[in-house]
Structure formats: C-alpha cells, structure tokens
A and B are shown apart, each in its own frame.
Chain A
Amino acid sequence: MAEGRTLQAICEQIIPTDQTPGAAWAGVVNFIDRQLTGPYRRQQAAYRSGLQEIDDAAVGKFGKDFAALDGQMQTEVLQSLTGGAKRFFSTAIAHTMQGYYGDPRHGGNRDAVSWRMLGVPVIPIRGRNRYELPKQGA
C-alpha cells in the first residue's frame, strides 16, 4: 500500500533507527493502523489527506514520492511542511510516540523495544501480564 509506505517512512523519520531499532521495526504503522479502526477512527480522513499532502510536497520538492527519497530529503520535506500537512504531521508525531513508547499490546513497541532501550523492566511481576506481551525474542 502506498499510504502504508509513506506513513512508515514518516514514522521512521520521527523515531529513526540508530543503535536501537526505530519506529518501522517497532511496528508503529501496525499500531496506527489498528487504532484507526478504533480510538482514532475519526482521524481516518485526516490520515488520507495528510499522507497525500506529504507525498505531494515530496514530489513538488524533489520529484519523487516521500518514501522514495533519501533520509536527508525526507527530513527537509517534513521540516518545510505548512498548513494542514503540518498539522497532520503533529498528529503523526503524537501517534508515533504512543506506538513506540506505549504498551506492546496495542500493536507497536514490538518486543518492548523502547522499554528495553530506556532500561525499564519489561515484566516487573512474573505471571501477571504474560498473556498480554509478545513472547520474548519473537
């Protein structure tokens, strides 16, 4: 899906991979996709138009879809957004943070990757929440 590719690239810009995995590996797009059919359902239209506007901005600036640009170009596109696209990007930042740093049960933060990065104990009480976290190392 073109929209999924664009969103994945935006999320990875928001939380990039460095010595620890970024938003793409952590499944943030999966998180957002799930929430768009639940708590975020009122924002489906904003995602549709926002992703399109960011792709349009990428084409206007560098002649390619957002996901096809290199990282430096993508950063430039995101930094130069205005109006509705800029507002959408703010929403995407908030949702990406939720998907990356929030509980893995919602489809992001795969393997509790952000909690491991921060040094937060993943299962503080054995036996209590084993049914709600993905298998370790999966």
Chain B
Amino acid sequence: MALKHVNAVIVGAGAGGGVAAKELAAGGLSVVLLERGKWYTAADCRKDDLRNQRTSVLGNNSGPDEARNPRVVVDLNGQERVALPSEGGYSNNAGCVGGGTFTYGAQAWRYQEKDFRMASTYGVPEGSTLSDWPISYADLEPYYEKAEYEIGVSGDVSADPFHGPRRKPLPMPPLPVGREHTILKPAAQGLGLHPFDIPMLRNSVPYGGRPPCMQCRWCVGFACEVNAKCGTQNTAIPMALATGNCELRTGCMAREVTTDARGRVTGVAYYDADDRLREQTADIVIVSSAAVESARLLLNSKSTMHPAGLGNAHDQVGRNLQGHTYTGAWGLFDFDTYDDIGPGASIAVCDYNHGNPGLIGGAMLANEFIRLPYQFVSAGMPGVPQWGSGHKDFMRQWYRRSIAVQGPTQEIPIAESRVQVDAKVKDFWGLPVARLSGGKHAKTMETSVAMAEKAEAWLKAAGAIRTWKKLAGKGTSGGQHQAGTCRMGDDPRTSVVDKYCRVHDQDNLYVIDGSVHVTNGGFNPVLTIMATAYYAAERIVKGRKGRGV
C-alpha cells in the first residue's frame, strides 16, 4: 500500500531533524520524521560505565545497531579497515531518537562572530578550504535565543566578554558549582582570564515540565536518569508530535532520496522496522542524518540525472569533514579535587578562541566532565607504566586528586578529509557504506598544541604539582562533533547548500544538520545545529505560506 503523500519527510531525528520537524509541524506542514534507531527513554540510562556513547568497549547504548552498520576507515598511511559503531575511528554519533542529544554532555555554545568569518579574519592557509559562512552571527542570533529558550539552557555567560551580542540572558541559572570549579576559577582570574559558568542544555531548575539535574556522575555518554538533560527527544520531537502534524517512524533506514525522470526530488525510499522497502513521497525532503550519514545518503542517491549523487555535480558532497581537535592537559594536586558531583564540566574560558598570535582560531577551554574510574586508566602520565604495581599505584594515588582541562580546537577544513561511499563494503540492507579518509591541516595541529599549553598553564596556576599535555593525532576528526560535509555557501562550485540550507541545484531538497557548517567553531556545535535548524525551517514554512500549505 502506498504511503500517504506528505509535505515534508525528514531523515534523522537528531538535533537538526528534531528541531526542523517541530518547526514545520507547528507551521502547519504534514511531516514524516524517519529515524533508523529506537526511541529510548530516561529509564534506559543503565549507568553502565563500559557500555555507553563515550566508553563503548562493550558496545554503545544509543545506536546504531552494531551488526548492521559498518563503515570503512582509511588511516593516514592509506590502510583501510572495516569498523563497527563501537570501535575507534568509526566516528559514531548516535542512532536513536534525539541522536547525539540523547546522551551528550550538553554544552550549549553559541559560536562567536569571528567563527562565521574565518577566512576574512585569518586569510586562507595553503592546502585548506577555509571559507566564511554565507550567514553571520547576527543572522543566527534570534535562533540561538529560540534554541536556548525552547530546548532549555542553563548557565551564566555574563562574565564572558568574548561572546557575540545577545538580547536575552540564558533562561536558567547555572548549576551549583563543584570543587574543580572553585579551584580553577581564582587561578584563571589570576592569569587575567575570564572564567564563567558553561552554558548547558541541562535543567538547573524545573523547566519544560522536567526536573533539574541531580548532579550524578553518569553524565556525558549516558541518558539522563531524571530527564534533566534537554535533547530533542524530550523537547522538540514531543512538541512536533503534539501538533498532530508529525509522524515519527523509528527503525527506518533511508536507502536513497528518490527523484523523478527530470531529476526533481520526490521523496525518500527507506527500509522500515521490518526491513520492507517503502517509499515516502513528499513535497520537500530534509536530510538530517549528521555529517557522515547525510553525505552518504546524498552520494547513494544516484540516478541518470544525478550520476554522482544528489547535490554532487561539483564533487563537493562529503568533503571538508571536520570535528574538533581536542587537546588539553592533566594536573595532579596534593589535595582531593574529586567530589563525586556531576556533570563535572562547569567552568570555561573563551580567552583563547581567537587572537592567538600566529595561529588560526583556537578553542574554548573547560574542565572535563566527571570521569568514571575506567576513564582514568588511560590518563597517560609520562613515566607511569601501563601495567603492574606502578599503574595501580598511580590510579590509587591520583584518581581523586586530578583535574583535566581541555578544549575543542577549531579545525581548518581540507577537501581531502572526506566521506565517500565504499565501492565494495555494504551494510545489512545492501547499501554502500561510508568511507572516511583524510587528515588534519598543519595549522590545526599547531593551534591544538598551543591550546594544550594554555590548559597546562591554567592547571599550574591552580596549584597542580604535576602536569602533562594531552595531544591529538593527525587523523580525520568526526565523532560526535562531525560537521562540514555539505557546506553552506553562495557558490555552487565550492559548496553543497545555499544560505538557507537548500541543495543548490534542487528546489525542494535540504540538508539541516552539522553538515552545513562551513567551519565548526572552537566550541561544541549542537546549539549552532539547533539554531540553524530553527532558521532554515522558518524560511521553509514562510516560503510555503503563499502557496496554501
């Protein structure tokens, strides 16, 4: 039986797709929201420190299915291997309703004004595809605000002099601070820095009909047991469903975006929860599957009119894959720093996001989320053996007396860091899998080392008796912060979507997720993904008003 035609079908119920579904449904469009994973709830928290989004040694807790979704990963030496979702290099985000927002740490950053004009600010380094966004911070500001209020953000950025202009403060106050915060704050001030409370998509007071955070230690990587983390699975998507205009279908794996004989987009072919091939026709198709899978879906949507895949006439889909180059430092203290109070990450400085002499961009630096014991095993202090009594002594002596400070260095995009579809390896449904390859620009590495030095200096100022840097490899980033593969731009030869997230050579195909980020800021990207979704969806709804939606 043919499925009823709808106004819009959205592939992926994560940060971007969830918000887009809500906006379109609230605007009166009929929407089908497809999600390959399940709809978990707070009861699925499980608190399993070996099986979660962040530590997946025994598997992951939020999809995608381990057996059905391989990828091919090519390392810096050209060696390729098949990787499963819980394995390193796979760049897993999540496969579930809410996507990464179901288990994330929930830092809710606005990018800074300069983050939208990186090429104008710094020039274009050789070998890079660094470019400005076609929209500015000011264009997104109202939508950042909408995300902060509608999804829910706590924190206090008033002490941060580097953020862009904003009309309203955050809707919720910061959580009570923990011991690391009280140790790091005076140290940062002593260095002339400007520390403040990290904005987070996490209730600090009752908000949106959900309770506040209880500050337990199972935070990043886990579903929130009390539902205090605000993801699209407990905000935008329920709002979309409440309009009566949106249907959420889980367990549905998109096969391709379908087109007619003239090459115009007609809908999405997908395998439903029983693995039957279905076709959902729609006036508009929105791809919101995150940077790796969105690119893969477009590349797998080949036809005679689009032989290289949709939106790929200029070989741009899948290029400029980026995440963040995380570096920082550990510090050991001669007193207890551990207080067993989550989420841990609570204090940040944005003094190093820009204006570092000789460098391009930089990173926000913050203390790391509260760590579970196994996560300290690989802290890697130089001179500590990897096994034996020396390692056990290290754990016993320093687990409660350590602080990590780190930050997401903004990456300088390169065309060679990319998503392709593999010629040989297929997934469970017979679809060519994503093939990840490339590396990082030398300027990215340079900046990331400088950020580690800044983190180390902060820890020393806080009284650390021993410090060491955590540096990053040169392999392609992606992971939870994956972005860039369908970049936004005015020139169809160097970008995939226009400034409204619409694919250049299509009038009814959109990409709404981190894929459209031209650059990814020196910040966790989720609030920008949500803001861009509000912004792009508003345009879609307005554009249809005159046409009797």
Contact = CB atoms under 8 A, between A and B. Distances in A.
A85 to B, nearest CB: 15
B196 to A, nearest CB: 28
Contacts of A105: 48
Contacts of B399: 118-120
Contact of B57 (A15, A16, A98, A128): A98
Interface string A86-129: 00000001101110011101100000001101111100110011
Contacts of B388: 13-14, 16, 75
A26 B102 CA distance: 33
A19 to B, nearest CB: 9
B377 interface: yes
B387 A39 contact: no
A16 B392 contact: yes
A93 B396 contact: no
A80 interface: no
Contacts of B391: 14-15
Given A98-B50, A103-B50, A118-B373, A93 B386 contact: yes
A52 interface: no
A131 to B, nearest CB: 12
A18 interface: yes
Interface in A1-56: 13-16, 18, 20, 22, 35, 38-39
B389 A103 contact: no
B64 to A, nearest CB: 16
A120 B340 contact: yes
Size category of the B interface is 20 to 34
Nearest to A23: B392
A118 B374 CA distance: 11
B377 A118 contact: no
Contact of A15 (B47, B51, B217, B387): B387
B49 interface: yes
Nearest to A120: B373
Contact of A119 (B58, B86, B225, B400): B400
B59 interface: yes
Nearest to B217: A124
Given A16-B388, A18-B392, A118-B400, A101 B377 contact: yes
Secondary structure call for the B interface: loop
A115 B58 contact: no
Interface in B201-249: 216-217, 225
A101 to B, nearest CB: 4
Given A118-B395, A124-B216, A103 B387 contact: no
A30 to B, nearest CB: 14
A98 B340 contact: no
A121 B396 contact: no
A79 to B, nearest CB: 9
A15 B50 CA distance: 18
Interface string A40-83: 00000000000000000000000000000000000100100000
B387 A13 contact: yes
A93 B373 CA distance: 15
Contact of B59 (A39, A98, A115): A39
Contact of A98 (B374, B376, B389, B395): B374
B335 to A, nearest CB: 13
Given A97-B374, A101-B374, A125 B216 contact: yes
A93 B48 CA distance: 20
B395 A14 contact: no
A101 B392 CA distance: 11
A49 B386 CA distance: 22
A102 B48 CA distance: 8
Given A115-B373, A124-B216, A103 B396 contact: no
Contacts of B225: 128
Contacts of A35: 58
A101 B57 contact: no
Contact of A102 (B59, B86, B374, B387): B374
A102 B389 contact: no
Pairs of residues from A and B, 10 with the lowest C-beta to C-beta distance, nearest first: A14-B387, A101-B373, A102-B50, A101-B374, A118-B399, A97-B377, A39-B58, A93-B387, A103-B49, A102-B374
Interface of A: 13-16, 18, 20, 22, 35, 38-39, 75, 78, 93-94, 96-98, 101-103, 105-106, 114-115, 117-121, 124-125, 128-129
14 contacts: A13-B387, A18-B389, A20-B396, A38-B58, A98-B50, A98-B57, A101-B377, A101-B395, A103-B50, A106-B50, A114-B395, A117-B395, A117-B396, A118-B395
Interface of B: 47-51, 57-59, 86, 216-217, 225, 338, 340, 373-374, 376-377, 386-389, 391-392, 395-396, 399-400
Given A93-B387, A101-B374, 9 more contacts: A16-B388, A18-B389, A98-B57, A102-B373, A103-B47, A120-B399, A121-B340, A124-B217, A128-B225
